[in-house]
Amino acid sequence: MDDRSAYAALRRKLDTLPVGYPKGKAGLRILRRLFTPEEAGIALFMDWRFSDSPAIARAMAAAGRTVPANLRGALGGMASKGAILGRPGTDSWALQPFVVGMYELQVASLAREGVEDATSFLKEGFALELLASGEHQTRVIPVGAAIRSEHRVASHEEFRELIKAADGRIAVLPCVCRKGADLSGHPCKATDRRELCIVFRDYADTVVREGWGRGIGVDEALAIAAENEREGLVMRPSNEREPQFLCACCGDCCGLFAVVKAMRRPADFVSSNFRARVDPDACVSCGACARRCPMDAVLLKGAKARAVPAFRARCSGAAAAKPKARVVPARCVGCGVCVAACAFGAVTLERKSATVPPADTAELLERLAATRPGAVRKLWTGLRGLLGIPVRDMGNRTPGPGGRS
């Protein structure tokens, strides 16, 4: 198999994962950067489920392929580049999607051409792959300031509990989206910090082992998350009750958020149990909520029937009606950033569902695989998103006890 065929075959293999890998020149350039031709040949006999090197060797031999003398070492080398996910201590290895997966693990070596290729790959079809996935890879949970006792939040909906439950397998690393924005010459406007992405479990082990970030304790993780909240960043963990990461996103430079924000109804493409609402009587029209909202879901709009034209107000001495904040439900992803921004208590969150996410990565990937749409459904979902036609059910919401999808 020549080099060109090796990468084409690898592309097809990755396209069988729960989150696929569509055709595109940029996508092939990415694969050439991450895999040697020999490594591409090995990856053809791997899966998104973990397997050990003897099992991979047997699959290669059965197909008549030459098995490297030090296959386990080759797999370790692939994992050290972030091309695959590895558990070297137990000789366990797995393929991973481009996002969330390979791209995020390039943060230490990311260069401008890698950012440009990732952007092009999104346009070549990977953005549609993310939008139309049957199960969401990530979810949005409220910032702590937005949570009230009446919400009765579960532990998987509260970032402090997620951090405490990680059993000390915690690390922090630079945000790949913000590093990409820096390399592109458009640095993040939401924060000057870069070391703010928290990872757990397998991701934490990988990040520490490869030196892409540093291990931290619960107290430091809580402090970082609290600072993320203070700066108005969105809490976005992987869509699991035992998540692998807790991102701190914004509407400025986050790649996944940019894809969702481009839709007319972002709420249809985000897993969240909450949405914001405004009490117009308490609203003082300061606009803080609208300025902080990462999805442009909060607008300031006056009621025309009650508004007093400026020239009449000057003549009569009456005060012109101030525009009040209002939430566009179809654009609200329930992050609670607007609640934290409001100093007057006019904005609160309301629960819209009680969806329980998959237990762990294995269950999440099984659900993604089981609900992955075909080409026609993907195109139809993307078209509906761009036109603002509601995407009522993509098979991605499993209601919890007493909840609805």
DSSP sequence for 188-214? -SS-S--EEEEEEHHHHHHHHHHTSSE
Confidence of residue 301 (pLDDT cuts 50, 70, 90): confident
Cα separation, 343 vs 284, in Å, equals: 10
- Please state, in angstroms and as integers, the Cα–Cα distance from residue 71 to each residue in 55, 77, 315, following that order: 11, 10, 85
Q: Does residue 320 carry a pLDDT above 80?
A: no
Report the pLDDT value the prediction gives residue 168, as an integer from 0 to 100.
Answer: 92
Cα pseudo-dihedral 151, 154, 157, 163, rounded to 10: 130
Report the pLDDT value the prediction gives residue 316, as an integer from 0 to 100.
Answer: 47
Report the pLDDT value the prediction gives residue 294, as an integer from 0 to 100.
Answer: 94
Cα separation, 178 vs 252, in Å, equals: 9
Query: pLDDT (tens digit, 9 = 90+) per residue, 113-147?
Result: 999 999 999 999 999 999 998 899 999 999 987 88
Cα separation, 57 vs 339, in Å, equals: 54
Its pTM stands at 0.89
- For 22, the token pair is 């569509």
CA atoms within 13 A on the CB side of 141: 29
Confidence of residue 1 (pLDDT cuts 50, 70, 90): low
185: left (phi over 0), alpha (psi -120 to 50) or beta: left
CA 116, 258, 136, 155 torsion-angle sign:
positive
Residues facing residue 234 across a β-bridge: 249
Cα separation, 280 vs 318, in Å, equals: 20
Report the pLDDT value the prediction gives residue 402, as an integer from 0 to 100.
Answer: 35
Q: What integer is the mean pLDDT of 3-19? A: 95
- To the nearest whole number, what is the mean pLDDT of the chain? 90
Distant-in-sequence, close-in-space partners of 306: CB < 8 Å, separation ≥ 6: 321
Cα separation, 160 vs 230, in Å, equals: 14
The helix (run of H) or strand (run of E) holding residue 245 is strand 245-249
> Any idea how long the chain is?
405
Least confident among 231-245, 246-260, 334-348: 246-260
Domain boundaries, the chain: 1-34+97-266+361-405, 274-351
Q: Does residue 284 carry a pLDDT above 80?
A: yes
Q: Does residue 192 carry a pLDDT above 80?
A: yes
Query: pLDDT (tens digit, 9 = 90+) per residue, 335-388?
Result: 999 999 999 999 999 999 999 999 999 999 999 999 999 999 999 999 999 999
Percent of the chain past pLDDT 70, that is, above it, reads 91
Report the pLDDT value the prediction gives residue 403, as an integer from 0 to 100.
Answer: 35
Q: Does residue 306 carry a pLDDT above 70?
A: no
Query: pLDDT (tens digit, 9 = 90+) per residue, 208-224?
Result: 999 999 999 999 999 99
Cα separation, 271 vs 353, in Å, equals: 10
Q: Does residue 177 carry a pLDDT above 50?
A: yes
- The β-bridge relationship of strands 274-278 and 347-351 is antiparallel
| Ramachandran angles phi, psi of 130, nearest 5° | -70, -45
| 215 against 323, higher pLDDT | 215
Residues facing residue 274 across a β-bridge: 351
What is the dotted CATH code of the domain comprising 274-351? 3.30.70.3270
Q: What integer is the mean pLDDT of 156-166? A: 95
Cα separation, 133 vs 155, in Å, equals: 25
Cα separation, 295 vs 82, in Å, equals: 31
Query: pLDDT (tens digit, 9 = 90+) per residue, 69-99?
Result: 999 999 999 999 999 999 999 999 999 999 9
- The β-bridge relationship of strands 214-215 and 195-200 is unpaired
Cα pseudo-dihedral 344, 350, 356, 361, rounded to 10: -40
- For 403, the token pair is 């909840």
Confidence of residue 160 (pLDDT cuts 50, 70, 90): very high
Q: What integer is the mean pLDDT of 90-112? A: 97
Percent of the chain past pLDDT 90, that is, above it, reads 83
Among 229, 349, 355, 225, smallest CA distance to 297 is for 349
Check: CB of residue 367 under 8 Å from CB of residue 357: no
Report the pLDDT value the prediction gives residue 309, as an integer from 0 to 100.
Answer: 46
Report the pLDDT value the prediction gives residue 154, as an integer from 0 to 100.
Answer: 84
| Ramachandran angles phi, psi of 224, nearest 5° | -65, -45
Q: Does residue 261 carry a pLDDT above 50?
A: yes
